[in-house]
Homo-oligomer: A and B are copies of this chain.
Amino acid sequence: MNLSTTTILIIKTIVLRFLFSPATAQASSCSIKEFPVVRNISELPQDDYELGGLSHITIAGSLMHGMKEIEIWLHTYSPGAHTPIHRHSCEEVFVVLKGSGTLFLASSMHEKYPGKPQEFHIFPNSTFYIPVNDAHQVWNTNDHEDLQVLVIISQPPIRAFVYEDWFMPHAAAKLAFPIPWDARCLEAPFKYEL
């Protein structure tokens, strides 16, 4: 191999790494510097983040777009898909755009564990607010249709505490930070616990 061939090989390797490196792809979808004022939501990065049945889009985000006080997601849950049981100290409002499902909500922050949750039917053009620190879970219980919701949170990026079940003590719930879409922007691995 002469020098010229070696040089070409090095250049090829660099180009291939640049094109296919996850870090590069992540940086390009998490830049807060270059994005148009008006954006087409259907052209924004969308991913399932290996969460099984969830499609996530950050419409306006802290790490992705430089928001400081509010963050907005578009979540689409396939039939049977659901969030984990979790709580957080930020405010959160849902607006249901399509489909239907069930909100499970345990208002028990003064007890030792969430306990059996209340169930609420959610439907197109409905809205609901999650009281701060209440354990909750959103579930697409409709076998025939995706559930699509806008999710608005305060205090981004979100720090959620995840429960294995409704009877797990509050103190044992595991911190999920950064959550998968923020992990990609931070270029840090997703962790369930500090």
Contact = CB atoms under 8 A, between A and B. Distances in A.
A127 B60 contact: yes
A42 to B, nearest CB: 6
B154 A70 contact: yes
A120 B120 CA distance: 40
Given A59-B127, A69-B91, A91-B68, A37 B103 contact: yes
Given A37-B120, A91-B69, A129-B67, A152 B152 contact: yes
A38 B126 CA distance: 6
B125 A38 contact: no
Number of copies: 2
Q: Is the interface of A mostly helix, strand, loop or mixed?
A: strand
A127 B41 contact: yes
B126 A40 contact: yes
Interface of A: 37-42, 59-60, 65, 67-70, 72, 90-91, 93, 95, 103, 105, 118, 120-123, 125-129, 150, 152-155
